[in-house]
């Protein structure tokens, strides 16, 4: 007995810690290792969030977030009912998607993976000290980089970012934001604890810091629905901005299958519909495809369409009716499923 006779679980534990290059070399070492790499799909990108699985939508008022996705009968069904993951909340509170990053959701202090139906509850955050003491309004920002998961055990972090409403008239001359040193609480799934992290120490980094701050929201795929804003956007103007109405003939049916669900189910496209899309009416931006030049739009009649900038094609994704009348959409999160189970398992045990 020796290292060439290790049980498969053990080999998996070793190989899953390797970076891709090293893993590819290890695959050559012997038949058993090769079988493990292939069976556990360690080198493949199947589990990574490389397709859009649906869109989570927060609705104003006491209703849980809803999930817009193509109905799927396959074995890999994504559970869009986020209320299944969280402890019942006192009425009228409802689970609300606070953040979404590469397949993980932040829901009411839980990190949730709807694809693997796993979740983990965040421990309570210790009190904030230092310059930011006294701020009571925070936004929790979830950060998860699954590409890093190849070289090290996957982990995610939650940043507790102070939320500041600035009244320009009340700002004192010479006051600075963020304060220096800026110490915020960061939760890491690697350590399973909150720890203080100094963000910006140098004064001259301050400007960058503020930019970074505002970018975090877009990292979280958080897209404010225009309907939520005071001004309604007329699609006619959007169309001219993006060149949507260049040529009527170009608005053909999509041949290409938009990666929407794992069933590879083809979408109905507009040629299948009796009615033409009415581009003259009010539409709102529902979200952006994370890595393709595609914008998701919500039409006046609750239809959701994907518009492909490269091909100038429109594809119908389905209908999104807010379940309760009179509720408005607050936020929409384009969701890319992450299928690997390792991430949340370890911690749930703990």
Partner 1 sequence: MAAPESGDGNNGAARMVTLISSDNTRFEVEAAAASLSQTLQLTILDGGGGGGDGIPLPNVDSATLSKVLEYCIKHAPAAANGGAPNATAVDRAELERFDNEFVNIDQSVLYSLIMAAHNLEIEGLQSLVAKKVADMIKGKSPMEIRRTLGFPDPTPEEQAEMNAHMLEYGWAYE
Q: Which stretch binds partner 1 (CB under 8 A): 12-20, 69-77, 255-263, 332-340?
A: 12-20
Between 191 and 281, name the residue whose CB sits nearer to partner 1.
Answer: 191
Between 193 and 207, name the residue whose CB sits nearer to partner 1.
Answer: 193
* Whole-number Å distance between alpha carbons of 146 and 162: 26
- The binder of partner 1 chosen from 43, 199, 282, 312 (CB under 8 A): 43
**Spatial strand order in the sheet of 110-113:** 97-101, 104-107, 110-113, 118-121
Taking Cα atoms as reference points, which of 181, 112, 59, 171 lies closest to residue 338? 112
- The binder of partner 1 chosen from 109, 188, 192, 311 (CB under 8 A): 192
- Judged by CB under 8 A, how many residues of this single chain contact partner 1? 34
Helix axes 31-39, 8-15, angle to 10 degrees: 70
Matching residue, tokens 């060439």: 4
Whether 112 and 104 have beta carbons less than 8 Å apart is answered as yes
Contact call for residue 345 and partner 1 (CB under 8 A): no
- Find the shortest distance in angstroms from Cβ 30 to partner 1: 7
- How many Cβ atoms from other residues are within 10 Å of residue 198's Cβ? 11
In degrees to the nearest 10, what's the CA dihedral of 347, 7, 149, 106? -30
- Find the shortest distance in angstroms from Cβ 74 to partner 1: 29
- The binder of partner 1 chosen from 62, 123, 130, 280 (CB under 8 A): 123
Residues 222 to 251 in contact with partner 1, rule: CB under 8 A? none
| 241 SS3 class | helix
Taking Cα atoms as reference points, which of 322, 254, 252 lies closest to residue 284? 322
- The binder of partner 1 chosen from 14, 209, 233, 253 (CB under 8 A): 14
Contact call for residue 193 and partner 1 (CB under 8 A): yes
Task: Give the single-character DSSP code of 103.
Answer: T
Contact call for residue 13 and partner 1 (CB under 8 A): yes
174: alpha, beta or left? (left if phi > 0; alpha if psi -120 to 50) = left
Binding flags for partner 1, 148-167, as an x/- string (CB under 8 A): -----x--------------
Contact call for residue 20 and partner 1 (CB under 8 A): yes
Taking Cα atoms as reference points, which of 100, 37, 110 lies closest to residue 344? 110
Q: Are strands 183-188 and 118-121 parallel, antiparallel or unpaired?
A: unpaired
Q: Which stretch binds partner 1 (CB under 8 A): 23-31, 69-77, 158-166, 250-258?
A: 23-31
Contact call for residue 127 and partner 1 (CB under 8 A): no
- The binder of partner 1 chosen from 28, 168, 170, 241 (CB under 8 A): 28
- Number of helices and strands (H, E) in the chain? 6, 16
- The binder of partner 1 chosen from 90, 134, 326, 350 (CB under 8 A): 350
- The binder of partner 1 chosen from 88, 90, 310, 349 (CB under 8 A): 349
- Find the shortest distance in angstroms from Cβ 25 to partner 1: 5
Where on the chain is the footprint of partner 1 (CB under 8 A)? 1-4, 6-7, 9-10, 13-15, 17-22, 24-31, 34, 43, 123, 153, 192-193, 346, 349-350
């Amino acid at each position: 007995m020796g290292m060439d006779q290790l049980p498969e679980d053990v080999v998996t534990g070793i190989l899953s810690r390797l970076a891709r290059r090293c893993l590819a070399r290890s695959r050559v070492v012997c038949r058993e290792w090769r079988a493990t790499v292939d069976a556990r799909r360690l080198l493949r990108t199947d589990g990574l969030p490389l397709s859009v699985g649906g869109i989570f939508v927060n609705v104003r008022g006491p209703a849980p977030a809803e999930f817009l996705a193509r109905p799927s009968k396959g074995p890999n069904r994504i559970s869009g009912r986020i209320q299944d993951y969280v402890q019942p909340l006192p009425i009228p509170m409802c689970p609300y998607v606070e953040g979404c990053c590469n397949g993980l959701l932040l829901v009411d202090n839980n990190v949730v993976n709807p694809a693997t139906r796993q979740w983990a509850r965040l421990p309570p955050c210790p009190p904030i000290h230092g310059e930011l003491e006294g701020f009571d309004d925070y936004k929790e920002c979830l950060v998860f980089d699954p590409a890093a998961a190849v070289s090290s055990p996957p982990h995610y972090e939650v940043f507790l970012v102070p939320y500041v409403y600035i009244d320009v008239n009340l700002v004192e001359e010479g006051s600075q934001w963020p304060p220096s040193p800026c110490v915020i609480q960061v939760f890491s799934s690697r350590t399973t604890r909150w720890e203080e992290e100094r963000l910006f120490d140098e004064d001259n980094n301050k400007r960058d810091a503020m930019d970074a701050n505002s970018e975090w929201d877009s990292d979280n795929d958080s897209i404010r629905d225009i309907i939520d804003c005071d001004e309604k956007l007329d699609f006619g103007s959007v169309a001219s901005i993006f060149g949507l109405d260049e040529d009527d003939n170009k608005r053909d049916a999509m041949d290409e299958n938009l990666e929407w669900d794992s069933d590879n189910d083809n979408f109905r496209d507009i040629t299948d519909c009796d009615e033409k899309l009415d581009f003259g009416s009010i539409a709102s931006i529902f979200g952006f495809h994370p890595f393709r030049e595609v914008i998701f739009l919500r039409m006046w009649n609750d239809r959701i369409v994907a518009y492909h900038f490269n091909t100038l094609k429109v594809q119908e994704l389905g209908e999104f009716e807010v379940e309760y009348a009179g509720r408005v959409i607050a936020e929409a999160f384009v969701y890319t499923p992450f299928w690997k189970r390792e991430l949340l398992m370890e911690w749930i045990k703990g």
